[in-house]
């Protein structure tokens, strides 16, 4: 079973995922850094309800933070709330999050909060605001497929550091946008809001029109904006962009690759794009 898992992982997920362990992801981060791109490292896993597994996840992140620090790698980490307790209870989640951000801060490692399903958005935002009482070395992701996001931005402190994405989780029409056009319109609106109101943010998309839009706004607003990509989708474009702009690349690792890969395949949209993305030389 392990053997089959390994082959499938290499065949399907290899483009998007660095490997199964910390050494794999650090090698990838070093390769990325050579192109003037910083890394955002995520240990795969979500919706965890087993406390032992959560403790193991926290240890992996601690180990990762230590090694980023020791090896002087240019990398942030990105955590999913549901991998550190959001599916158990908010007190447990908060304890784990605060522990990790304080630990990371002591080693000068920046911590992102991934944004997941709509039912954990409230607790994720609350967590982030709580974290800001202890450190500014943290950021949060906001999704344009949710109708609430403009209001969420409006209620975040102005010194928040935001990663703006279109959103990878299914939403129903009551709370979200399902058409590409509406998600894109809202993405533009949120980008504009960030330029007008916030100081530092990351435009995380493979949509070149959105990147161009942000670049054009920055001529006027001159904010601390950077651009971020997922590993394996537009590596060549990212490398090119890194010649003139601040760029980072999100790199997951670990053996829980199925859900993450499923989302990437769904986004590729049709089989030809999936095949193209799998065949293209995505070596960084």
Ligand X SMILES: Cc1cc2nc3c(=O)[nH]c(=O)nc-3n(C[C@H](O)[C@H](O)[C@H](O)COP(=O)(O)OP(=O)(O)OC[C@H]3O[C@@H](n4cnc5c(N)ncnc54)[C@H](O)[C@@H]3O)c2cc1C
Our CB check for ligand X shows the closer of 95 and 180 to be 180
Using the contact rule CB under 6 A, the part of the chain among 102-110, 127-135, 146-154, 226-234 near ligand X is 226-234
Cα 238 to chain center, whole Å?
A: 15
Q: Is 228 in the site for ligand X (CB under 6 A)?
A: yes
Quote the CA–CA distance of 168 and 182 in Å, as a whole number: 15
Nearest distance, CB of residue 240 and ligand X, angstroms:
15
Residue 228 in contact with residue 248, Cβ under 8 Å?
A: yes
Using the contact rule CB under 6 A, the part of the chain among 3-11, 49-57, 147-155, 261-269 near ligand X is 261-269
* DSSP 3-state of 245: coil
Q: Is 242 in the site for ligand X (CB under 6 A)?
A: no
Q: Which long-range contacts (CB under 8 A, 24 or more apart) does 168-171 make?
A: 168/143, 168/263, 168/267, 169/116, 169/117, 169/118, 169/143, 169/145, 171/118, 171/145, 171/146
Question: Quick one: which of 24, 47, 104, 133 has its CA closest to 112?
Answer: 104
Q: Is 277 in the site for ligand X (CB under 6 A)?
A: yes
Nearest distance, CB of residue 2 and ligand X, angstroms:
26
Q: Binding ligand X by CB under 6 A: which of 96, 143, 186, 261? A: 143
Using the contact rule CB under 6 A, the part of the chain among 47-55, 65-73, 198-206, 217-225 near ligand X is 198-206
CB atoms within 10 A of CB 55: 11
Q: Is 273 in the site for ligand X (CB under 6 A)?
A: yes
Residues that bind ligand X (rule: CB under 6 A) add up to a total of: 23
Q: Binding ligand X by CB under 6 A: which of 110, 195, 250, 253? A: 250
Nearest distance, CB of residue 52 and ligand X, angstroms:
25
């Amino acid at each position: 079973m392990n053997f089959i898992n390994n082959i499938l992982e290499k065949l399907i997920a290899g483009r998007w995922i660095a490997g199964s362990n910390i050494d794999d992801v650090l090698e990838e981060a070093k390769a990325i850094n050579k192109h003037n791109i910083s890394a955002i490292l995520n240990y795969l896993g979500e919706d965890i309800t087993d406390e032992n597994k959560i403790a193991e996840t926290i240890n992996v992140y601690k180990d990762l933070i230590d090694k980023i620090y020791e090896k002087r790698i240019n990398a942030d980490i990105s955590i999913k709330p549901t991998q550190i307790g959001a599916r158990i209870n908010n007190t447990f989640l908060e304890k784990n999050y605060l522990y990790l951000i304080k630990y990371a801060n002591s080693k000068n490692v920046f911590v992102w909060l991934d944004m997941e399903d709509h039912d954990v958005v409230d607790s994720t935002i609350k967590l982030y605001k709580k974290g800001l009482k202890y450190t500014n070395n943290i950021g949060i992701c906001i999704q344009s497929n949710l109708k609430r996001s403009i209001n969420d931005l409006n209620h975040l402190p102005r010194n928040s550091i935001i990663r703006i994405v279109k959103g990878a989780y299914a939403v129903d029409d009551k709370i979200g946008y399902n058409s590409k056009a509406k998600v894109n319109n809202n993405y533009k609106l949120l980008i504009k809001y960030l330029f007008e109101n916030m100081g530092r943010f990351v435009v995380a998309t493979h949509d070149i029109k959105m990147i161009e839009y942000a670049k054009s706004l920055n001529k006027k607003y001159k904010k601390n904006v950077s651009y971020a990509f997922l590993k394996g989708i537009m590596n060549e474009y990212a490398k090119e962009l890194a010649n003139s702009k601040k760029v980072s690349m999100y790199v997951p690792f670990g053996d829980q690759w199925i859900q993450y890969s499923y989302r990437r395949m769904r986004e590729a949209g049709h089989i030809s794009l999936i095949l193209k993305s799998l065949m293209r030389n995505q070596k960084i």
